[in-house]
Structure 1
């Protein structure tokens, strides 16, 4: 086992002794942040970062009753059953290949992508990236069970379904979204406002959703890029929450290669619905200038995020580096967005 994958395994084993949330609703970002650090050349900082982060975590919640193939629908979306769900998926990944399990459960979980502010799907995306990069590994397989269990427990459909049928690009549709007035609401409180918010549903459904799988991949990549660049100039109203408008669709994008192509279009649609909702809830209406990234490299940006220490800043920098790597014209907008996150997010938040 190489040094970086060994570090990730060690960190995940530490994190599996803690629950997926703390203080009743805050997500344990440890598995996502340490995976991003390992993937971006910062494995040497993982345990030092985790030593500080672990102080806020809580024990694994008590199990209640066993979830089975027969009774799982009644437990879907019940956060009090999160340990039961982890146990269920732990059993399942021991019985069959992880890709088969993911293919079966992905379409079941997608409608609830907005649950827990999209953290469960983000955790799944980080895990799948490592499985695809490093190969099958017992600790990563266990992490997938934890991530899927968290998603099943926090499964939450948006109050209004979004069916994209228009011709707009992700950038065009994202920039046209309305905003809610109070951007300090919880996601659940904000989601409840969407159905009655003038222009939200029509704008959300204006997105062009292609049929061709490769066009879907390109569209999803364009969505991650648009959401990342939106943060550069509109991230000053709620710097923490807005990062998920980019990191959630990026998690879906990272998962596509592990899924059958016939699931790609609905994956794009679900990612867009979540991203558009979060943008409406947490993006500032009036833009502000973003920090310049002309004099920094992607590696330096990520190093700054790790030094900053906040888990949201680290995860968002990880996504920004993905976008910067796909830029064909040397555009520094994604790196500028990551620097803005460092400015907007207090490291102690």
Structure 2
């Protein structure tokens, strides 16, 4: 059954809406994204077990501090203690204005902070949007409020000077820009630890912002979104060799996929800002985390046994790894839309990375 028509999905969201956006170890709570991805993969019946396994690590939502208003809104951006205030604010905005206008306005405003919480801010929002596109319910509107609230409360932009506008007028192909990125010195690229902390390395990287601003994001927005996903699927397959690198570069793919989901209902201006944000985030991940030693190139698998979407979905779920599930869901979606077999290879690599 399609995820977003499944009657159990809303009740799972209601359970998660009593929780803070982070777990007791400080990491972002992936479950709002994972349960949506599981339903999209036809494995929604497995979602309650994932929640049961993780719920001992849930934290309660901290109480509200002060209502968010026009005169204090800017100061509340990036303030984690204001998460509950942001939830109330977005829930009210969505109720009075409708979820699509609120998304359009706020995705554009938040897009420069696409790296927020290691890209989880926009990724959770993308999953929430897809759920709402299939069924507009109170639980799903509340999930969008929580997703936007997490993005706003944890808001961070790339360190260093960045272009003021998300609407870029570059002329270079995406792949060319990605392949010629200035990189953090190999000895400073983390191979473990916090992704958000590792991205701070970008602050000392001369020319990074100007380089990524040269990317050509013009043309049909939907086609550009697919091109972005394709470029980052290639990067994923060419780069990952360890569970850590799999986690890092999953966010480039799922970030691009989230932009595509949001762009399906936003205006063109917001869509361009989302493309720019997703591309910049993926470039930052490569610049800061490209492994010192890349895996050997493998011959293309023209025929992989049991590579059906259903089989790969079940293999991903069996890993019990959040990122393997989210990567597989995004990759299989791209494969079903475009026929790009690199997406299949990416899913296999992700599963193998955490199953070794």
Fold similarity call, TM over 0.5: yes
Change (3 A) 1:93 1:205: closer
Deviates more, 1:290-299 or 1:253-262: 290-299
1:47-126 matches, cutoff 5 A:
47-126=48-127
Within 2, Cα distance between the matches of 1:123 and 1:323?
A: 18
Rounded to whole Å, the distance in 2 between the matches of 1:28 and 1:336 is: 27
1:207 and 2:211 correspond: no
Give SS of 1:116's match.
coil
Name the counterpart of 2:351: 342
Gaps of 5+ in 2: none
- What is the rounded CA distance, in whole Å, between the counterparts of 1:261 and 1:200 in structure 2? 26
Task: Tell me the alpha carbon deviations over residues 122-172 of structure 1, each in whole angstroms, 9 at most, x when there is no partner.
Answer: 00000111111x221111001011001101101111123157544332223
Q: Which runs of 5+ in 1 are unaligned?
A: none
- Superposition TM-score, scaled by structure 2 size: 0.88
In 2, Cα distance between the equivalents of 1:262 and 1:111?
Answer: 13
Compute the RMSD of aligned alpha carbons. Answer: 2.4
Find the aligned partners of 1:206 and 1:103 in 2 and give their Cα distance.
25
Residue 174 of structure 1 and its aligned partner are, at CA, apart by 2.0
Distance in 2, matches of 1:334 and 1:89, equals 35
Higher alpha-carbon deviation: 175-184 or 224-233: 175-184
Q: Shift of the alpha carbon at 1:308?
A: 0.8
Structure 1 runs of 4+ with >6 Å offset: none
Q: Which residue of 2 aligns with 1:312?
A: 323
* 1:294 aligns to 2:298 (yes or no): no
- What residue is the counterpart of 2:238 in the other structure? 233
| Partner Cα distance (1:64, 1:123) in 2 | 24
In 2, distance between residues paired with 1:287 and 1:346?
A: 17
Q: Distance in 2 between matches of 1:68 and 1:35?
A: 31
| Distance verdict in 2 for CA 1:100–1:172, change over 3 Å | same
> Any idea what SS the aligned residue of 1:19 has?
strand
In 1, Cα distance between equivalents of 2:18 and 2:194: 27
- Paired position in structure 2 for 1:196: 204
The Cα shift of 1:346 comes to: 6.5
2:355, 2:55 → 1: CA distance?
Answer: 18
Q: Secondary structure at the match of 1:117?
A: coil
| Maintained 8 Å contact 1:21/1:28 | yes
Q: For each residue in 1:49-105, what CA deviation from the matched residue of structure 2 results, as whole angstroms up to 9, or x when unmatched?
A: 221122322221232222223321110111121111112112222222111211221
> Would you say the 8 A contact 2:2–2:42 is kept in 1?
no
Kept after mapping to 2: 8 A contact 1:7/1:46 = no
Aligned position for 1:284: 291
Does structure 1 residue 242 correspond to structure 2 residue 246?
no
Cα distance in 1 for partners of 2:283, 2:98 equals 33
- Cα distance in 2 between the residues matched to 1:185 and 1:305: 23
Distance 2:291 2:103 in 1: 36
